[in-house]
Chains A and B, each alone.
Chain A
Amino acid sequence: MRKYLIALIIIVVAFNGLQNLRELNDLAIVKAMGIDITEDGTYKIYAIVSDTSEKESTDKGIIYEAGAESVQETVRLIVDKAPKKLYLAHMETLILSEKIAKEKFMETLDFFIRDNEGSNNFYLFIANQSDSKDIIKTINEEEINMKEMLISSTRYRGNSNTKTLNDNIKDMLRPGRDILVNSCKIVDGKIKIDDMAFFKDWSMIGFLSDDYSIVCNILNNNIENTIITEGENEDLVVSEIISCKTDMSLENEKDVKIKVEVKANISETGKNISIKTAQDTLKVQGILEEKIESYIVTFTDKLKTEYNADLIGIGNLLYRKKSPLFNEEDYLNKVNISVEAEVKIQNQGGVIKKW
């Protein structure tokens, strides 16, 4: 009797799972999706579905498109055109048009956050100066892997981040923090990872300029590797940052102190720059420190005056340190920000190897 009971329990538990049974042949694996919104507020969705009809899978997929009032409805309408149901768990890229990002950002993402099948581990892009449709078409035509592009761009240039939708939502839910989303652009028929779009209160305000994306990433501790250039012609110093650590601390309620520790290699120098002696190295370090500091200062000034968004989480710092300033509307303008950069040159690039 007990045996049968155990068997019954096991069967009940086991068969319960059967509702999730899907054969691989029934899946239309969506690689990337682009969403546009028309003037009258209807969504247009373009989905790249992996073409698995060939025995060897190719990167080129099939684009299906549909339009309706809501995202869910639109996604479901694609079933009329595709032979299988869209499978979103392996989607890597979601491209939103600028209009959606500015007007209906959270409403659009709502579907993806709620969908129990989706993984929310995809990368979000804002289409800069073009429709999602064109970007999706270019991605498919050129067989571009946006994920790999983004990862290498973040790792070696530092003008983007590899935050997935989940990470972005986590950031959004933190008090005193506004988010940055990567953007992409079509340049000469190719996709380019462009300056990051910044958000305030869950809707997009605008795009950062290129250098500020890097500075912003330095301040958010998102840099692995990037290039900093100072001076021109004879005074040129180009250095490769190989590690960067930023520490933000709050002193007496309103003084924010930013300390950046940078390890760098010298990659190129002009005629006037000498790095033969220890003093020379110190001098170059000073030049770089100055450059980084000035970058950060101008960026924080811009944050206060122009962007008016808390992209580096100063509000979050105030909140964590329980500063009363956090409750005030324009706390950004009320804090004093001091910057200290410390550069250590690891490798001057001498011909004679030191080891």
Chain B
Amino acid sequence: MNNILEYIKSRCEELDDVYFRQLEIEGEKIYLISSDAMTDSNLLSNFVIRSIVECIKNNGKEDEQEEDISLEEKILKKLGENKDKIHFEDMLSINKIKKLDIDKEDIFKYIFSGFAIIIYDLSVYAVEVKASLTRSISEPSSENSIRGSKDSFVENIMKNVGLIRNRIKSEDLVYKEQQVGRKTKTKVALMYVSDIAKKDLVKYVENKIQNIDIDGILDVNYIQEFIEEENDSDFPISINTQRPDIVSYYLLQGRIVVLVDNSPFALILPAFFEDHINNVDDLYQKSKNVTITKIVRYISLAITIMTPALYLAITTFNQESIPSQLLRSFTAQREGVPFPAFIEALFMIFAFEILKESDLRANKVTGNTLSIVGALILGDAAVSAGIVSPIMIIVVAITTISGLMFSDINMLNALRKWRIIFMLFSSLCGIIGIGIASILLIISLVDTKSYSKPFTYPIAPFNLTEAKKNLFGRMNISKDKTRQKILTNNLTKSR
């Protein structure tokens, strides 16, 4: 017993948050070790210490005449069981108690996971007295939902799993947990619906996660980088979401979800290009009217990639292609602007990017000031000073606003990159440049594979049934009876 204690003490010399307590009751020594930060002292004192003390006291009253027998024997006697079967845990009214095998298991993992270690005689027990270190469930901050549920994931993996289980109450929903990270020992969980998801993909992801050897996993993106290491596309081939309803929707399609403890985001894979454009929220609206919403989205996708490029092309190369009145108005606005249109556009786009980035990073108090100073005053002043033309502000503004329709930050970054590529080409050869850049974009998209599935599905390879269902509208849920063949072998959704 002293060996274990000495070992723990030696490792804890510089850990002032680890708390030792020695209970000495009737000559028997019980040691209690826990981390102050991770444990709920209420639980510890009310349920663990009190239970032990009371148990022993009770024993003492009953067995006053047999004072020479040891504490464990007293307990044994009280429970009336064989010594081989005795568990320390039966004494305590705590849910999770484990007898540790000190040769194999890492005591410190338990200490820092919120367990109290009880050392008695030669046995070591871990008793869960975890403090609740997570915030409560709140509305999603990075994704908005008009009609959908308003809960969102938190930093506690079990709460997140609970939010999903709350929606899919089936034993087919598999939850497989692994521990990743030599130092962080983070819980990484894989969830899928066993009779829908494809086994090979599950196996692939599982293996990938098993083979991760890194000191720490701090966010779900760490896992994403590992399992997508072969992918060098600009576009995200998996979905990050905060919303359990989205996760459940995709789980039922046969996709796989990766959850990481301490990350309020779930990773859904595989994802297609269409998934980034379309929103699960469409399912909560009348299906007939979704068509226009979807068309607006496709148009704004084109706008956010192409508008600055198109503006450059028509004002520096293809002036003949716009109405005379418009050209005259453009020319009048550009009068006195000292820079070429390309430089002007780059300048404005970078100004907006700076504004966006600092707005994201700034705290909420300064953020408001930033928007006012940045957007209103700076934009207006730049125009009056003649550095940029008003039309350029309009172009960049509509580009940025259209881009914000896509909530995934990875998608936004990809779109931003392609916006600049388009601008570069259009500033070199006008409309033809936009054509070249479009071809490059299509090549890049078609070349992308999302976990060996084509990223541009259902457009290329074209799938008529799927396109009808989702591309330019949404099929009525009652009529949509099949799942996507590309994601599952279990096609029947409803009868």
Contacts and interface: CB of A to CB of B under 8 A. Distances in A.
B341 interface: yes
Interface in B314-328: 315-317, 319-320, 324, 327-328
A92 B324 contact: yes
Interface of B: 315-317, 319-320, 324, 327-335, 337, 340-341, 425, 428-430, 432-433, 436
A274 to B, nearest CB: 50
A31 B324 contact: yes
A57 to B, nearest CB: 4
B436 A13 contact: yes
Given A14-B436, A90-B319, A29 B429 contact: no
B430 A17 contact: yes
B432 to A, nearest CB: 6
* 10 interchain residue pairs of minimum CB distance: A17-B429, A89-B320, A57-B332, A14-B428, A52-B332, A52-B331, A90-B324, A57-B328, A24-B334, A24-B331
Contacts of B316: 21-24
Interface in A15-33: 15-18, 20-25, 27, 29, 31
16 contacts: A13-B432, A13-B436, A20-B430, A22-B317, A23-B340, A24-B316, A25-B334, A27-B319, A29-B327, A29-B331, A55-B335, A57-B329, A89-B319, A89-B320, A90-B324, A117-B320
A308 interface: no
A188 B117 CA distance: 107
Interface in A93-126: 117, 119
B126 to A, nearest CB: 56
Contacts of A53: 332, 335
Given A17-B317, A21-B316, A52 B433 contact: no
A149 interface: no
Most buried by B among A24, A57, A119: A24
Interface residues of A, number: 29
Contacts of A119: 320
Contact of B428 (A17, A55, A92): A17
Contacts of B327: 24, 29, 90
Most buried by A among B327, B331, B436: B331
A87 interface: yes
Contact of B319 (A18, A55, A87): A87
Contacts of A17: 317, 428-430, 432-433
A15 B330 CA distance: 25
Given A29-B331, A57-B331, 11 more contacts: A13-B432, A14-B433, A23-B334, A23-B340, A25-B335, A53-B335, A54-B335, A55-B333, A57-B328, A87-B319, A90-B328
A56 interface: yes
Contacts of B319: 22, 24, 27, 87, 89-90
Most buried by A among B324, B329, B432: B324
Nearest to A117: B320
Nearest to A57: B332
B415 to A, nearest CB: 21
A13 B340 contact: no
Nearest to B316: A21
A89 B323 CA distance: 11
A140 to B, nearest CB: 14
A22 B334 CA distance: 13
B331 A15 contact: no
B337 A54 contact: no
A30 to B, nearest CB: 10
A92 B328 CA distance: 13
Contacts of A92: 324
Contact of A13 (B324, B330, B429): B429
A153 interface: no
Given A17-B430, A52-B335, A55-B335, A24 B320 contact: no
Contacts of A24: 315-316, 319, 327, 330-331, 334, 341
A54 B332 contact: yes
Given A29-B327, A52-B332, A90 B320 contact: yes
Contact of B324 (A22, A23, A29, A55): A29
A128 interface: no
A119 B332 CA distance: 22
Contacts of B340: 23
A50 B328 contact: yes
Given A14-B436, A31-B324, A23 B335 contact: no
A53 B341 CA distance: 17
Contacts of B332: 52-57
Contacts of B429: 13-18
Most buried by B among A13, A20, A89, A90: A90
